Amino acid sequence: MVMAVTHEVSNQSEPLVGHDLFEGNQGLRDVLRLLAPQLDLAPLQALGRQLGQADMQTHARLANCHRPVLHSHDPQGRRIDQVEFHPSYHALMGAAVGAGLHGSAWQEGRAGAHLSRAAGFMMFTELEPSVLCPISMTYAVQPALTGNRAIYSACADKLASRVYEPGLRPWPLKAGLTMGMGMTEKQGGSDVRANTSLAQIEGSDAWGQRYRVTGHKWFFSAPMCDAFLILAQTASGLSCLFLPRVLPDGTLNTVHIERLKDKLGNQANASSEVEFDQAQAWLVGPEGRGISQILEMGTLTRLDCALGTSGLMRASLSLALHHARQRAVFGKPLIEQPLMKNVLADLALESEAATALALRLAHAVDQRAQSHEADLARLLTPIAKFWICKRGSAFAQEAMECLGGNGYVEAGGQGLMARIYREMPLNSIWEGAGNIMALDLLRGLRQCNALECLQRELAPVRGCNIALDRAIERLPAVLQEWANPVQARRLAQELALLMQAALLVRASPPAIAQAFCDARRGGDWGQTFGTLGPRADVQAILARAMP
């Protein structure tokens, strides 16, 4: 019997591999140039080259294919509560720590350290987002941890160390540490005031007031971190506590990992449910003021949600563009088909606008000693977290559609497009879903002179675009009419689009800024991607966006 010869494979796009994530992203480079023209770009250039390589993509794939495994007991029956990761997970963690994406920005004191770190975090997300959960929390924990100076002094250098050292061991024996947080409980979710975990004071030592904690956390991400900030009820109310996995005497703290979450995405990261059985913890900040203390950490993880979604947008756009320029339909490359050009150009505008807004927020964190920048960070955190993360899922779906069925299967693009699609909803839910962010924006409006802050930020673009000018003129009325719980989402959307348009006018070429302002500010746009008006220079937009 003669075996049939396998058909010849043609008109299939090759994987996007061996590309430079920094040099290939003109929008990222331009907004960095606008915000910090003296920024040292050498570390970002090196990271961009590293992250696009085949070996790093293989690590990302393997870390997601081989999910974390919980080992609650050792073979002899002793409780160990450890999570085993694939070696590729550790390789990715080592790369992220080595690039200083965790806590280095707080210690190194470089000009633009937080902005540079944000750009690196965004690029790393293009490769693999789920390992960045402990990286993000280790970055965000440091301002909150200063509420206990003794503990902060003991661990700050190791939280900023560029040495990644997994495994649970006493701190003095480790070169680098990671930290996480635990707020959410079964009965409350985002309503952390409903927490029931109880912390009873046990005494005091060199680290201050020491407590025994009994209770649980319903979402306890990255349980193999070295320590956590948690919330628990004390005699004075909900308080912030520092809870290590390994106690100063070298014994394991009684943090029992009940199970790992079986999640839609974010598969390389271990998210868990835990029980505290008289676990030892130390007070951070004033007793009874736990929410305000730990929200210093939450504010920075919200920044990372905006950065992460922006990175995922760029990754899915790059895959769509790469596929479209190789795939032929109806006699010519897909990217030359007029309607596909409109879709891809529209996605490119959305991606560049998200990048600009997220990095502007990071720049405000860098400049937070200035009152204007501190106020802007207070406003932009919920605005960017709400809008960018809300746009992520629709963006990923449209980008996946550009690849057709090849994008939907796990093998397409090494499974990256499907992985991105599963990942996209997370950042919108994580650290406060849309309603939480919209209501937080209303609180921000009460805490600073929002109109003055926003008008100052928008002043450089007055007179540059008619549609943008009209939106700026409406700003006082918008803040007055929509600053209420019923319209809070609409307000967040309006301010996000206003800021994005202004940033693109300042940082991007006229073709980009004009098309965005026409579509998002001037009304020359439909309700889905791919509905840019006839004035949009789609060819120029696509040329700029190509990876």
Confidence of residue 171 (pLDDT cuts 50, 70, 90): confident
CA distance 161 to 97: 8
pLDDT of 220 higher than 80: yes
Residues 385-399: what's their mean pLDDT? Answer: 98
Do 280 and 349 share a domain, yes or no? no
- 């879903």: which residue's tokens? 433
**What is the reported pTM?**
0.96
**Residue 317 corresponds to which amino acid?**
L
Could you give the 3-state DSSP secondary structure of residue 122?
A: helix
- Which residues lie below 8 Å from residue 395, measured CB to CB, with a gap of 6+? 313, 316, 347, 350, 351, 424, 529
Residue 325 lies in a domain: yes
Confidence of residue 8 (pLDDT cuts 50, 70, 90): confident
Residue 528 lies in a domain: yes
Tell me, what's the pLDDT at 111? 87
- Which residues lie below 8 Å from residue 115, measured CB to CB, with a gap of 6+? 32, 35, 36, 39, 359, 362, 363, 366
Min mean pLDDT across 318-332, 403-417, 432-446 is at 403-417
Tell me, what's the pLDDT at 1? 52
Q: How far is CA 423 from CA 29, 64, 122, 429, in A?
A: 25, 11, 14, 11
Residue 15 lies in a domain: no
Do 133 and 217 share a domain, yes or no? no
Buried b (16+ CB within 10 A) or exposed e, 283-303: bbbebbbbbebbbbbbbbbbb
What are the E-state strand segments in 247-358?
A: 255-260, 271-283, 328-329, 332-333
pLDDT of 414 higher than 80: no
Cα-based angle 484, 486, 487 (whole degrees, multiple of 5) = 70
Residues 157-184: what's their mean pLDDT? Answer: 94
Tell me, what's the pLDDT at 190? 83
**Residue 262 corresponds to which amino acid?**
D
Do 254 and 334 share a domain, yes or no? no
pLDDT of 3 higher than 70: no
Whether the Cβ atoms of residue 444 and residue 378 lie closer than 8 Å to each other: yes
Do 463 and 315 share a domain, yes or no? yes
Residue 21 lies in a domain: no
Residue where a domain terminates, one of 118, 137, 156: 137
Confidence of residue 410 (pLDDT cuts 50, 70, 90): confident
CA distance 209 to 202: 8
Could you give the 3-state DSSP secondary structure of residue 39?
A: coil
Residues 429-456: what's their mean pLDDT? Answer: 96
pLDDT of 241 higher than 80: yes
The pLDDT tens digits for 261-280 are 999 999 999 999 999 999 99
Tell me, what's the pLDDT at 262? 95
Whether the Cβ atoms of residue 204 and residue 210 lie closer than 8 Å to each other: yes
CA distance 249 to 547: 52
Sign of CA dihedral 12, 413, 400, 28: negative
Do 195 and 92 share a domain, yes or no? no
Tell me, what's the pLDDT at 459? 97
Residue where a domain terminates, one of 137, 163, 189: 137
Q: How far is CA 388 from CA 240, 271, 373, in A?
A: 29, 23, 20
Name the more confident of 411 and 203.
203
Do 277 and 225 share a domain, yes or no? yes
Residues 419-446: what's their mean pLDDT? Answer: 96
Residue 306 lies in a domain: yes
Residue 10 lies in a domain: no
What are the E-state strand segments in 57-156?
A: 69-73, 79-84
Q: Provide φ and ψ at 357, rounded to 5°.
A: -65, -45
- Which residues lie below 8 Å from residue 508, measured CB to CB, with a gap of 6+? 27, 30, 31, 352, 356
Tell me, what's the pLDDT at 412? 55
Residue 9 lies in a domain: no
- Which residues lie below 8 Å from residue 155, measured CB to CB, with a gap of 6+? 145, 171, 177, 227
Do 331 and 405 share a domain, yes or no? yes
Do 199 and 300 share a domain, yes or no? no
Residue where a domain terminates, one of 230, 263, 287: 287
Do 208 and 333 share a domain, yes or no? no
Tell me, what's the pLDDT at 10? 87
Residues 327-352: what's their mean pLDDT? Answer: 96
Q: How far is CA 544 from CA 23, 30, 210, in A?
A: 11, 11, 56
β 179-182/227-234 pair status: parallel
Do 307 and 277 share a domain, yes or no? no
Residue 413 lies in a domain: yes
Query: Measured between alpha carbons, how far apart are the two ends of the chain, in Å?
Result: 48
The mean predicted confidence, pLDDT, of the chain is 95
Of 147, 297, 163, 249, whose CA–CA distance to 208 is shortest?
147
Of 414, 146, 393, whose CA–CA distance to 265 is shortest?
393
Q: What percent of the chain has pLDDT over 90?
A: 91
Q: What CATH number does residue 300 fall under?
A: 1.20.140.10
Do 221 and 341 share a domain, yes or no? no
Of 330, 492, 366, whose CA–CA distance to 113 is shortest?
366
CA distance 348 to 515: 11
Total count of residues recorded for the chain: 547
Q: What percent of the chain has pLDDT over 70?
A: 98
Tell me, what's the pLDDT at 445? 97
Residues 359-384: what's their mean pLDDT? Answer: 97
pLDDT of 188 higher than 90: no
Could you give the 3-state DSSP secondary structure of residue 265?
A: coil
Confidence of residue 226 (pLDDT cuts 50, 70, 90): very high
Q: What CATH number does residue 187 fall under?
A: 2.40.110.20
Q: How far is CA 185 from CA 195, 217, 371, in A?
A: 6, 5, 35
- Which residues lie below 8 Å from residue 26, measured CB to CB, with a gap of 6+? 544, 545
Residues 217-222: what's their mean pLDDT? Answer: 93
CA distance 357 to 354: 5
Per-position DSSP letters for 53-81, written without gaps between them: SHHHHHHHHHHHHS--EEEEE-TTS-EEE
Residues 154-164: what's their mean pLDDT? Answer: 95
Domains contained in the chain, number = 3
Do 117 and 176 share a domain, yes or no? no
Instruction: Return the DSSP state at 7.
Output: P
Residues 138-159: what's their mean pLDDT? Answer: 96
Q: Domain residues for 371?
A: 292-545
